[in-house]
Structure 1
């Protein structure tokens, strides 16, 4: 089975595997820019914007929880939590492994701690009810079935009967193949970053959006991709997925 990713205006957007995306990130960080701080900021802002759009007029009366891992995906989630808190949204952050946060996610968390947003642990919010769950646990770097605290958070989210918005790739889904080696987030919406991933099958992602994180065309050219921006005047767009 093959899949194509098409914008609302009929533009086909090339898809990449996790390995290709890792190389795009490397080229951006080491050669062309933007750096990781900039990409994470752009990802988080786009994620927060889509969350508010999804909640509609009640966005600032809704309870939002962000589930964040320790890597880049988690950093994007922490950044989104800060943007939401800065707009007086009722946002709570749950860090899966706070003692393992990478340096850039740590930087995002330092900023977040100066907002009105809350940070709580797994046991503290298990019985809470939320209007939106944001999944920023794993991203495209899945290695085997989720375990430990991340597995507990995935189970809690799936049982919560609350809309779930995933960042980049629903946690537990292989970004390249769409396979699920263990339990995975059953997302209602996914906002993927830079380019769609080849494993983003509709049954796993829900409605799919694409976010611009500031990577220039020359970065894609270096891995042989003929890229033209599909964003027009927007920073995130809806994608239709065609299977054939």
Structure 2
């Protein structure tokens, strides 16, 4: 899979293993740290959500579905930015008691906003205009299970706009293989670099978000990286099967 910006700049794609190494180098050597990357991801996701909904975005019902890891933290962060701007937003977390530290801190901050945190049981009564899928992210191996699977099944029953963060939940980020149950979004906002498994039939419109990783990180991995963002913080990509 090859990815290019609307201006024709080629953007390298990475496997799950390569993205794990990108994150490791950033956290252990160069920065930014996990919280900073999560904050950048969440703010970009909030901005894309507003752009997608248009002028009446404050009147629309938005639900964020968040997992326990970094992807969920990005979704929760986006919910805060949206709530701070007056959005009608609710957040459903798969297992709040199992949140990783940085994600738990995002939920802690969210509780000081007007966003509503709802259980999976209460979710059954909701009919959102837009769903943010921040359930799993790039680290999926095998089939989704438990509460994550419940949220994926719930999403497939609704007609609202769906935006997936980084990788649609239920899709293997390296191979593009789909689980038995997966989310098919209208839009995917992938982070840092596109993933090799982001097939255009699975992602909807594809955007790439800058989360602040220095070019030095990509050079260490010998990736042919040319900064594609110009003055933007997220950009649209087109994908081509090579």
Q: What TM-score bracket applies, with the shorter chain setting the length?
A: over 0.9
Q: 1:183 aligned to 181, 184, 187, which one? A: 181
TM superposition outliers: structure 1 runs of 4+ over 6 Å: none
Write the deviation string for residues 115-146 of structure 1: whole angstroms up to 9, x where unpaired.
00000001112121111000000000102101
CA distance in 1, matches of 2:180, 2:16: 18
Alpha-carbon distance, 1:181 to partner: 3.1
Q: 1:72 aligned to 70, 73, 76, which one? A: 70
The SS at the match of 2:237 is: strand
1:106-145 alignment runs, 5 A limit: 106-145=104-143
1:75-224 alignment runs, 5 A limit: 75-224=73-222
Task: Give unpaired runs (5+ residues) of structure 1.
Answer: none
CA contact under 8 A between 1:191 and 1:211: conserved in structure 2?
yes
Alpha-carbon distance, 1:192 to partner: 0.1
Task: Give unpaired runs (5+ residues) of structure 2.
Answer: none
CA distance in 2, matches of 1:25, 1:223: 12
Partner of 1:26 in structure 2? 24
CA contact under 8 A between 1:144 and 1:182: conserved in structure 2?
no
CA contact under 8 A between 1:66 and 1:91: conserved in structure 2?
yes
Alpha-carbon distance, 1:182 to partner: 2.5
RMSD between superposed Cα atoms in Å: 0.7
TM-score, with length taken from structure 1 = 0.98
TM-score, with length taken from structure 2 = 0.99
CA distance in 2, matches of 1:171, 1:183: 9
